[in-house]
Amino acid sequence: MQQALALPALLPELLPAPPRHPVVGAQKDIRYYGTVASGVLNSPETTGMSFWSINPYIGCAFGCTYCYARYAHGFAMERTGDGGRETGGDTGEESSPGDALEELPSWLAFERRIFVKRNAAQVLRRTLQGRGKSLGAVQRGEPIVIGTATDPYQPAERHFRVTRELLEVLAEARRLRLVIITKSPLITRDVALLSRIAQRSRLTVQLSLITLDRDLARRIEPRAPTPEARLRALRRLSDAGIDVAVNIMPVLPGITDRPDTLAALVRAVADAGASHINACALRLRVTSRRRYLPWLDQEFPELRSRYERAYGSGYQITDRYREGLRQFLKRTCRTAGIRYGSPEGRTFEGPADAQGSRAWKEGTMPGALLREASPHTTSRALPIMTGEEETEDRSTAAPPAAASPPSVQINLEI
């Protein structure tokens, strides 16, 4: 009998393989999977961005309707798809990330099936202690941006503390250029650590905030912290001497682009101590369209035809709109006494949409996707938003839903 019990120890291959992605936690309808990262400092070459990046998690519980990062999660889920069920580590739950592909549409799996890079800090420490190309580049001050594809202070961080551990490693280094992008006041938990980092390296926290309207924010970013909580976090970080910028990204045409509400937002973040503001209009790449357009149909159906005109032939809204927005915000920031645009003259935006680029090359254009996605669309190539179209829309569009804010085009106001 004793021999039989000892056998698996002698022949470990007889033991079931440990789960590759054990369930390490659950929170209401969200399930967390542990994953072992082989590298965490992503180079500009691998991401197509002009800076280094770190994402402690894969997937994001905040579920913003415009989020462009869902595709990265899809790739990760596919990579785990070995079909086998896995018995949960910390929770004992039996599941597999691959199953989630079956259970949930991919846009929702991004929000509800989240991977936790539990060894991220060890991997980063090894990288920074090595002699590789990455170390040289980041030591020369090339920016490292934390949170380009998921929020590093999403609810998972409260329990898993992966971001905190990464920051503890980064606090040991000197003369780095660090940027942290988040919507979460949980970042204030680490205010002492951030202050320590700021003494040795150049640190900017970029808080994302697109509206002060709490109800509107809830509709657009269903599980993200309230605007008031983000403003309080901004003030707290700023009072601690940490450089904080606010990203008004993205400005949603017809929804959050009212000049009076944008001006109020600029004043509020200036008063709360932000050093500067970055902004850009919504970009609708393929993966964002799949979530955003059905949401738009549900929440703001009267805007559908305008979006067709604005985004029917590409992922960017027109030059005229973007330039109008830029000029308006520049003026508004000047009046409010806050800088528009980073002192470095660059923004740290998320990854290029690999699927989007591929779709363009293969001819499955975002415009085609737009037409597929809605019965309201027309095949006519529509011009972009201009004053004339606004007039036309007023006469033909369905009356706005009672809860919708009036839609005012920036271009009409300047």
Residue 150 near ligand SF4 by CB under 6 A: yes
Choose among 202, 225, 214, 65: nearest CA to 142: 202
Using the minimum distance from each CB to ligand SF4, give the nearer residue, 29 or 392.
29
Task: Classify strands 86-87 and 30-35 as parallel, antiparallel or unpaired.
Answer: unpaired
What is the sign, positive or negative, of the torsion defined by CA atoms of 35, 36, 39, 40?
positive
3-state SS record for the chain = CHHHHHHHHHCHHHCCCCCCCCEEEEECCEEEEEECCCCCCECHHHHCCCCEEECCEECCCCCCCCCCCHHHHHHHHHHHCCCCCEECCCCCCEECHHHHHHHCCHHHHHHHEEEEECCHHHHHHHHHHCCCHHHHHHHCCCCEEECCCCCCCCHHHHHHCHHHHHHHHHCCCCCCEEEEEECCHHHHHHHHHHHHHHHHCEEEEEEECCCCCHHHHHHHCCCCCCHHHHHHHHHHHHHCCCEEEEEEEEECCCCCCCHHHHHHHHHHHHHCCCCEEEEEECECCHHHHHHHHHHHHHHCHHHHHHHHHHHCCCCECCHHHHHHHHHHHHHHHHHHCCEECCCCCCCCCCCCCHHHHHHHHHCCCHHHHHHHHCCCCCCCCCCCCCHHHHHHHHHHCCCCCCCCCCCCCHHHHC
Min dist. Cβ of residue 148 to ligand SF4 (A): 8
* Closest CB to ligand SF4 among residues 247, 318: 247
Residue 168: how many CA atoms within 13 Å on its side-chain side?
9
With contacts defined by CB under 6 A, name the span among 10-18, 61-69, 289-297, 401-409 that binds ligand SF4: 61-69
Min dist. Cβ of residue 69 to ligand SF4 (A): 5
Find the part of the chain contacting ligand SF4 (CB under 6 A) among 58-66, 119-127, 258-266, 358-366: 58-66
Q: How far is the CB of 71 from ligand SF4 (least distance, A)?
A: 11
Subset of 69-88 contacting ligand SF4 (CB under 6 A): 69
Closest distance of CB 60 from ligand SF4, Å = 3
Which region among 12-20, 60-68, 187-195, 296-304 touches ligand SF4 (by CB under 6 A)? 60-68
Q: Tell me, what amino acid is at 339?
A: R
**Site residues (CB under 6 A) for ligand SF4, limited to 156-195:** 183
- Of the pair 151, 257, the CB lying nearest ligand SF4 is at 151
Nearest approach, Cβ of residue 406 and ligand SF4 (Å): 25
Give the C-alpha separation, 386 to 409, whole Å: 8
The verdict on 64 binding ligand SF4 (CB under 6 A) reads yes
> At its nearest, how many Å lie between ligand SF4 and the CB of residue 200?
27
Q: Interface with ligand SF4 by CB under 6 A: which range of 56-64, 96-104, 130-138, 269-277?
A: 56-64
User: Does residue 265 bind ligand SF4 (CB under 6 A)?
Assistant: no
Which CB, 113 or 183, lies closer to ligand SF4? 183
Minimum distance from residue 63 beta carbon to ligand SF4 (Å): 5
Give the torsion sign (CA, 196, 164, 110, 209). Answer: negative
Per the CB < 8 A criterion, the answer to whether 220 and 211 are in contact is yes
Q: Which is nearer to ligand SF4, 67 or 242 (CB)?
A: 67
52 in contact with ligand SF4 (CB under 6 A): no
Based on the shown chain and the rule CB under 6 A, indicate whether residue 63 belongs to the binding site for ligand SF4: yes
Q: Which of 60, 207, 266, 329 binds ligand SF4 (CB under 6 A)?
A: 60
Residue span binding ligand SF4 (CB under 6 A) among the ranges 29-37, 59-67, 78-86, 301-309 = 59-67
Site string for ligand SF4, 200-229 (x = CB under 6 A): ------------------------x-----
Count residues binding ligand SF4 (CB under 6 A): 10
Pick from 32, 51, 57, 62 the residue near ligand SF4 by CB under 6 A.
Answer: 62
151 binds ligand SF4 (CB under 6 A): yes
Q: Does 58 bind ligand SF4 (CB under 6 A)?
A: no
Rounded Cα–Cα distance for residues 351 and 70 (Å): 11
**Among the candidate windows 63-71, 84-92, 262-270, 331-339, which touches ligand SF4 by CB under 6 A?**
63-71
Site for ligand SF4 contains 252 (CB under 6 A):
no
Q: Enumerate binding residues for ligand SF4 (CB under 6 A).
A: 60, 62-64, 67, 69, 150-151, 183, 224
